[in-house]
Amino acid sequence: MKLKNGFITHNVGKTQMMVATGAASTAFHGLVRSNETAAFIVNCLKQETTEQKIVEAMLKEYDAPAEVIARDVHSVVEKLQGIGALE
């Protein structure tokens, strides 16, 4: 899975802002605000990946138990799927 074309991000301070442009903007009009960890997950999704691969990448970066990270990744992925941002 991967972030659909047309979703673009920009960091303002420690918050990542994501909006939909072009064709993607007809389905999603809002703004996604992500904290540092959620932004890490969003950035992983800019290339084709899987939840498992994202969890592995996060384990290298963050000092947290694997099950907590897996739960966080799943929750962010679900939210992005909910707004139609993934393909």
Partner 1 sequence: MTEFTVKLADIPVRIRAIRPEMRQFLQEYLTEEEAELTIETRQEDIDRERVMSARTRAAEGLSEFRPGDAYLETLAVYRKLAEALVERDVLLFHGSVVAVDGEAYLFTAKSGTGKSTHTRLWRQAFGDRALMINDDKPLLHVGEDGVRAYGTPWNGKHHLGGNCSAPLKALCILERDKENHVERVSPEDAFPRMLQQCYLPEDGEKVEKILALLERMSQCVKLYRLGCNMEPEAALVSYQGMQEEA
* E strand intervals along 1-87: 7-12, 15-20, 31-34
Q: Are 33 and 17 in contact (CB under 8 A)?
A: yes
Stretch that binds partner 1, among 25-33, 45-53, 66-74, 75-83 (CB under 8 A): 25-33
Query: Is position 60 an interface residue for partner 1 (rule: CB under 8 A)?
Result: no
Q: Can you tell me which of 1, 8, 59, 83 binds partner 1, judged by CB under 8 A?
A: 8
Cα(85)–Cα(56) distance, rounded to whole angstroms?
Answer: 22
According to the binding rule CB under 8 A, does residue 83 interact with partner 1? no
Q: Where along the sequence are the contacts to partner 1 (CB under 8 A)?
A: 6, 8, 10, 12-15, 17, 19, 21-22, 25, 31, 33
